[in-house]
Amino acid sequence: MKYMIMLYASQREYDLMTGKPTDQPAWTQEDVAAMHEFMAKWNQELVESGEFVEARGLTAPVHTRRIHGVKDGVPVVTDGPYAETEEVLAGYTIVECDSFDRATEIAARITNSPHPAGEPTGSEYIDVRPIVEGFEDFDVQ
């Protein structure tokens, strides 16, 4: 079965990684390189195990548009980032493996990603969800 591993981050985290001013010191080039190296190794291990399907990172929340509802017959579009949403989807990896437990085990390894001293380790949270490949995969209860 295929599973989507969804990584979440905040605009603040994107700003720290790209050196934009925040209330915290920016990541150094070495910090960013270590994180990229960790993620490349994590992906390569999945390729070698045959479990890797696809992975993508997403741009910062400031480059997001949300379409929600309709007002006067026109979709309502809001530019990000959104004050009411601290974390947003930062990237995803799709794996194909034997079980939900295995997909969870794979995702949990991301929490070992290096971060600058004083910063939380790993993503704030990571979701793992089975991918629906057909109507029969829906769990309707």
Q: Which residues contact 95 (CB under 8 A, 6 or more apart)?
A: 2, 3, 5, 46, 51, 52, 53, 103, 106
Per residue in 25-82, pLDDT (tens digit) is 888 899 989 999 999 999 999 999 999 999 999 988 888 888 988 999 999 998 877 6
* 22-28, long-range: CB < 8 A, 24+ apart: 24/118, 24/119, 25/116, 27/116, 28/116
Residue-averaged pLDDT of the chain: 87
User: Does the structural domain 2-134 have CATH classification 1.10.3720.10?
Assistant: no
Contact 48, 55 (CB under 8 A): no
- Please give the average per-residue pLDDT across 110-127, as a whole number: 74
Per-residue pLDDT, 48: 98
Contact 42, 5 (CB under 8 A): no
The residue ranges of every structural domain in the chain are: 2-134
For residue 84, what pLDDT band results from cuts at 50, 70 and 90? low
The residue whose two tokens read 């050196």 is 19
Per-residue pLDDT, 14: 85
Residue among 21, 23, 13, 43 at smallest CA distance from 116 = 13
pTM of the model: 0.84
In 11-111, where do the E strands start and end? 52-57, 65-71, 74-79, 87-96
